[in-house]
Amino acid sequence: MIWLTWRQFRLNAASAAVVLAAFSVLLAVTGPHLATLYAGSRIGSCHGGGCGGPADDFLQQLYGNSLTGASSVDGTGAYWLLYLLAILVILGTPAVIGIFWGAPLISSEFEARTHYLVWNQSITRTRWLAVKFALTGLAAIGFTEALSLLYGWWAAPISRAVARGAVTTPLAMNQFSPLVFASHGITPLGYAAFAFALGVTAGVLIRRAIPAMALTLSVFVLLQVAVPLWARPHLFPPERSLTSLSAFADLPDVSVENGSFTVITDGWTREPEGWVLSSETVDLAGQPISSIPAACTRAAQLTGGKGESAGLLNCLSSHGVRIAVTYQPASRYWAFQWTETAIYGALALALAGYCFWRIVRRRFSP
Amino acid sequence: MTAVIETEGLGKRYRQRWALTNCTLSIPAGHVVGLVGPNGAGKTTLLNLAAGMVAPTEGTIEVLGERAAAGPAQLARVGYLAQDAPVYAAMSVADHLRLGAHLNPGWNVEQARGRIERLDLSLGQRAGTLSGGQRAQLALTLALAKRPELLILDEPVASLDPLARREFLQDLMEAVAEQEVSVVLSSHLLSDLERACDYLIVLVDSKVRVAGPVDDLLASHHLLSGPRRHPETLPTGQEVISASHTARQTTLLVRTAGEVLDPDWTVTEVGLEDLVLAYMSDTTTRRGHARQLEVVS
């Protein structure tokens, strides 16, 4: 059965090997230079709040002159393209695996009616399915994890720079931001397992490869959009932190309109690697507040355009207005990684169990 | 005589549709059994149940004394050639032999190789490019080389041209003679099976209309023709299978253990084809007969 599984899988395996090789070469060629650039930056020797600048400089360098539109002479500008490309590859791999490895695994047998042939050899269909499922599934997980590990090694300098407080370039994505979270650590492993099992299940249910592929893609994309938006933030109860307006490194701006005010802050520095879910202004009692307190109406009238709001800010601050931030602490990063991977893994196992039950039960029309 | 397939009240429902209901039969070992019936009679469903491809909705089926597809050992004892002989289109003939060798402990390498050579199939050719006849031969090779005790073939020749049909059946008969194997093969056309089988089962509306060794069937059925008379006036022991009437004459196909002695009848032997057709059209004839009686009264 191992031979047959390999015989049916070898084309897929070959294409996976080609992709993995190309990916490795691309990253192996550029990785050392990226590490050299990082070593040349001052991030390694900075301390605390002084790291934001060097980290930003480093990422700016990778971003090249793309920002200004001039061509980057030394090619460093290509790194951010490579960074995004690699993320897309790692995010897309589970979907591709689900579609091209998972969905046809069983449905193509039904379509070609070859299950009649293989189920009548001296081997139970439980064993047949177990070997096919396990070997192809492990290959799917291994392949995705290999990509993810390679990429993790390559992108480590960028992750470190972001962790040190870089904020200004598009490369400076927080570790919890959907693209980064889903492409780093162990989550790709869970996605691969789930997408593969989803594909197989769709194939077992629909019994035709193309519709099964479409169903796999739709469900997987839906989940990949829905989970970061609605499920992931609630995996653990978020923390809430109150910060005085004057405690911000860069003083916030306040805009005033029709008697209500909005505080604009950038860079909540208390947990640069944490995940800010929401922030709002609250009064002394901790209740949300947006209307200007009576005592500050005069200060508000003096507020003109941007940057002239220091007076109002002081007034609000002295009347107990603070910023309440709801967030997930950075220390929970691995808890999030493990939990989400475990959930996807459990879903994959449940789907696999359903496939076995359905194949072994033999209720369907042949 | 032991039974290779024994069913009791067997039924199979696909969603709302019953493909087979209340089917009770016993197929003895050591025969080449032809399973004949009109399309939709439940032949394929019955054979799929026998191969363990599907599980019964009701009733029981035992194949070689065990539950169908009960385990690797039981699977090894049954060879199944499904309708249209499915094979892996992308795999070569040699790959199929390798598949058989890997998945069957009782695989006979020499036999498989020998058959492929004799059939002039090239080992390197992809199965998807084989002709229908060659594909059927390849599938049969797989089914035979696992050395089964029972070989089940579902409409093995339905999609073959007449020449390929003859070659396939001839080859099958040689293989059967060589290796002691009971065979059950189905067809909706008796002519496909007439030369091959020595035991016949006629399945209509998932019910066994008649079953028995071909010789016995031929010996116990007679075609009677004579002046018009009501079929119910026949002596007991003579069962009317089909009746047709003209204004003056009645023609009956009867089944009887003994001789037909009534001098009014002209008795002729019946061919297998007519016999099977009579059983297949049996239900409709009876309905027509009942209507006729109503008109008379």
At B182-200, the pLDDT tens digits run: 999 998 778 778 888 899 9
pLDDT > 50? residue B297: no
pLDDT > 70? residue A356: yes
A4 phi and psi, to 5 degrees? Answer: -65, -40
Between B135 and B292, the more confident residue is: B135
pLDDT > 70? residue A135: yes
pLDDT > 60? residue B124: yes
pLDDT tens-place string over residues B245-280: 888 888 888 888 877 888 888 888 888 888 888 888
Lowest-pLDDT choice from A110-119, B15-24, B112-121 = B15-24
Q: What is the ipTM of this complex?
A: 0.87
Tell me which residues of chain A, numbers 98 to 137, contact chain B at a CB-CB cutoff of 8 Å.
112-114, 116-125, 127
pLDDT tens-place string over residues A62-77: 876 544 444 445 566 6
Percent of chain B with pLDDT over 70: 94
Residues in chain B closer than 8 A to A4 (CB atoms): 99, 102-103
A241 phi and psi, to 5 degrees? Answer: -130, 135
CA geometry: angle at A97 spanning A93 and A102, to 5°? Answer: 160
pTM for this predicted structure: 0.88
Select from B154, B160, B186 the least CA-distant residue to B83. Answer: B154
- Please answer whether residues A365 and B47 qualify as being in contact, where contact means their C-beta atoms are separated by less than 8 angstroms: no
pLDDT > 80? residue A126: yes
DSSP-derived 3-state class of residue B180: coil
Sign of the alpha-carbon torsion through A54, A56, A62, A68: negative
- Please answer whether residues B188 and B37 qualify as being in contact, where contact means their C-beta atoms are separated by less than 8 angstroms: yes
Lowest-pLDDT choice from A90-94, A285-289, A336-340, B199-203 = A285-289
pLDDT > 80? residue B127: yes
Give the residue numbers in B contacting A (CB under 8 Å), as ranges: 14-15, 19, 48, 51-55, 69, 71-73, 75-76, 78-80, 82, 84, 86-89, 91, 95, 98-100, 102-106, 139, 142-143, 146
pLDDT tens-place string over residues A160-190: 888 877 776 677 788 898 888 999 889 999 9
- Please answer whether residues B151 and B29 qualify as being in contact, where contact means their C-beta atoms are separated by less than 8 angstroms: no
pLDDT tens-place string over residues B15-36: 888 888 888 889 999 999 999 9
Per-residue pLDDT band for B109 (boundaries 50, 70, 90) equals very high
Q: What is the pLDDT of residue A191?
A: 96
| A215 Cα to chain B: minimum distance (Å) | 23
Comparing alpha-carbon positions, the chain A residue that sits nearest to B107 is A122
Pairs across A and B, CB distance < 8 A:
87
* b/e A142-169 (16+ beta carbons within 10 angstroms → b): ebbbbbbebbbebbebbebbbbbbbebb
> In angstroms, rounded to a whole number, what is the distance separating the alpha carbons of residues A12 and A101?
7
Per-residue pLDDT band for B288 (boundaries 50, 70, 90) equals very low
Q: What is the pLDDT of residue B61?
A: 94
Token pair listed for B84 = 């249209």
pLDDT > 70? residue A307: no
